[in-house]
Chains A and B, each alone.
Chain A
Amino acid sequence: DTAVSQTPKYLVTQMGNDKSIKCEQNLGHDTMYWYKQDSKKFLKIMFSYNNKELIINETVPNRFSPKSPDKAHLNLHINSLELGDSAVYFCASSIAGRAGNTIYFGEGSWLTVV
């Protein structure tokens, strides 16, 4: 069973479109994240949610809107896609309360904007 699953794994779309990436974790964790890996493989956190509450928002353009319907799900909606949004988006989860807790990553969603 996949611990952190993301859909879709691959997405090719045109500039200006709106798209969503869904994430679900079955680990019983209470904190979920979105990380972005750009074309140079640099990884950076975008958002984190704890029990559906936004905890970290790393000055991401407001075209990106995360939504957490419950603590097992964290979706990412992107409006008016731009070429620079092309990246791999990783969902992740962990148990809050201790900084050293293992963060489990999904397999990534590869978004290409043309």
Chain B
Amino acid sequence: AQTVTQSQPEMSVQEAETVTLSCTYDTSESDYYLFWYKQPPSRQMILVIRQEAYKQQNATENRFSVNFQKAAKSFSLKISDSQLGDAAMYFCAYSSTRSSNTGKLIFGQGTTLQVKP
């Protein structure tokens, strides 16, 4: 069974600075997807970024980028130029490509990010 681990329950960053959130996962599959979701106080789950395991190039979405290390099974999220609106809980998630599990996201425990003005 796949597992996702986020070892940082809480992180804080100064506004305009850069912060990296860690995520490791365990799987025996070679093809899969990884995601970072943001959950602000409103509780809405918002997709931040996704990475396909067979793609070596790290995904980037504006100020958000990932460091995907497939061999190490590591998938960290870097937020550059942090803004107050980035304050939220961030979840790392894994999705198998097996058809029977399509859409089944396996989440980590979450990291609460505080942004200080």
Interface, chain A (partner B; CB < 8 A):
31, 33, 35, 40-45, 48, 55-56, 88, 90, 92, 94, 96-103, 105, 107-108, 110
* Chain A residues, CB < 8 A from B47: 102-103
* Residue contact A45 to B104, C-beta cutoff 8 Å: yes
- CB-CB nearest in chain A for B47: A102
**Within the assembled complex, what's the spacing in Å between the Cα atoms of A48 and B105?**
11
* Chain A residues, CB < 8 A from B44: 105, 107-108
**Within the assembled complex, what's the spacing in Å between the Cα atoms of A94 and B45?**
14
Interface, chain B (partner A; CB < 8 A):
32-33, 39, 42-47, 50, 52, 89, 91, 95-98, 100-105, 107, 109-110
* Residue contact B102 to A99, C-beta cutoff 8 Å: yes
**B33 in complex: contacting residue of A45, A48, A100, CB < 8 Å:** A100
**Within the assembled complex, what's the spacing in Å between the Cα atoms of A45 and B95?**
12
**Within the assembled complex, what's the spacing in Å between the Cα atoms of A102 and B39?**
15
* Chain B residues, CB < 8 A from A90: 45
**Within the assembled complex, what's the spacing in Å between the Cα atoms of A15 and B33?**
39
* Chain A residues, CB < 8 A from B109: 40-42
* Chain A residues, CB < 8 A from B103: 31, 33, 48, 55-56, 94, 96, 99, 101, 103
Beyond A41-B39, A45-B105, A107-B43, 20 additional contacts (C-beta under 8 Å) are: A31-B103, A33-B103, A41-B109, A41-B110, A42-B107, A44-B107, A48-B103, A48-B104, A56-B100, A92-B45, A96-B103, A99-B96, A99-B101, A99-B103, A100-B33, A100-B50, A101-B103, A103-B105, A108-B43, A110-B43
